């Protein structure tokens, strides 16, 4: 039951960069019932929800979250696996950040029938599928795979132009290393994907 003294929660959000270089989105929920402390926890992959007193300035909230971030990142291993909606939201962020918001697609979803690939993209229908084995990887690695499939919306083949798009993602090289390591350990497919079809 919402308290009448609680300010209606407008979407107050900002982004932070974590220790691993990945972007974290912060959603602030203000409450008049909260007097002093600021509390923060994961509301989804790459999304932190902060509960703060009404009067706290956004600068104070930011500073508090920056302080809490290392502990939150350590606890991120216990986060719930990402849903299709979260993959969609992350893809929209990547589109805004690395493609000027100019990409359009129909659907992004996790599928269980991609055993030998991380994902696939059908540019004609705007359909992107991600192997559900990737639900276990850190969000910055998932972002890399999303970048790969998003880049296929522009460049169907694994051409130099294609890799130039993918490499707009700052952690591309690290993510490739991570995925290779996982593949060698037998936990993930070996191929990023085939050329888009």
Closer to Zn ion by CB, 69 or 179: give it: 179
Instruction: Name residues contacting Zn ion, limited to 167-196 (CB under 5 A).
Output: 193
Cβ 192 to Zn ion shortest distance, Å = 5
Closer to Zn ion by CB, 31 or 122: give it: 122
Please give the size of the binding site for Zn ion, defined by CB under 5 A: 1
Closer to Zn ion by CB, 86 or 193: give it: 193
Cβ 97 to Zn ion shortest distance, Å = 20
Cβ 45 to Zn ion shortest distance, Å = 22
Instruction: Name residues contacting Zn ion, limited to 81-110 (CB under 5 A).
Output: none
Does residue 155 interact with Zn ion by CB under 5 A?
no
Q: Which residue is nearest to Zn ion (CB)?
A: 193
Closer to Zn ion by CB, 61 or 91: give it: 91
Closer to Zn ion by CB, 38 or 134: give it: 134
Closer to Zn ion by CB, 40 or 155: give it: 155
CA distance 130 to 149: 9
Cβ 102 to Zn ion shortest distance, Å = 19
Q: Write the secondary structure of 97-131 as one string of H (helix), E (strand) and C (coil).
A: HHCCCCCCCCEEEEECCCCCECEEEECCCCEEEEE
Cβ 22 to Zn ion shortest distance, Å = 21
Cβ–Cβ under 8 Å, residues 65 and 50: yes
Cβ 123 to Zn ion shortest distance, Å = 11
- Compute the radius of gyration of the chain from its Cα atoms: 19
Binding site for Zn ion (CB under 5 A): 193
């Amino acid at each position: 039951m919402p308290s009448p003294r609680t300010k209606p929660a407008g979407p107050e959000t900002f982004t932070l960069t974590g220790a691993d270089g990945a972007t974290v989105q912060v959603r602030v929920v203000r409450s008049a019932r909260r007097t002093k402390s600021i509390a923060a926890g994961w509301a989804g992959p790459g999304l932190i929800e902060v509960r703060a007193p009404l009067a706290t300035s956004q600068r104070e909230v930011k500073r508090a979250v920056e302080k809490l971030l290392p502990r939150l990142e350590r606890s991120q291993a216990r986060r719930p696996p990402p849903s299709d909606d979260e993959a969609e939201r992350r893809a929209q962020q990547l589109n805004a950040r690395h493609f000027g918001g100019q990409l359009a697609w129909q659907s992004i979803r996790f599928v269980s029938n991609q055993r030998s690939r991380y994902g696939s993209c059908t540019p004609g229908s705007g359909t992107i599928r991600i192997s559900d084995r990737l639900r276990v990887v850190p969000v910055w690695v998932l972002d890399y795979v999303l970048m790969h499939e998003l880049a296929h919306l522009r460049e169907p083949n694994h051409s130099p132009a294609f890799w130039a798009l993918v490499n707009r993602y700052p952690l591309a090289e690290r993510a490739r290393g991570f995925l290779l390591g996982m593949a060698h350990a037998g936990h993930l497919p070996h191929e990023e994907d085939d050329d888009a079809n």
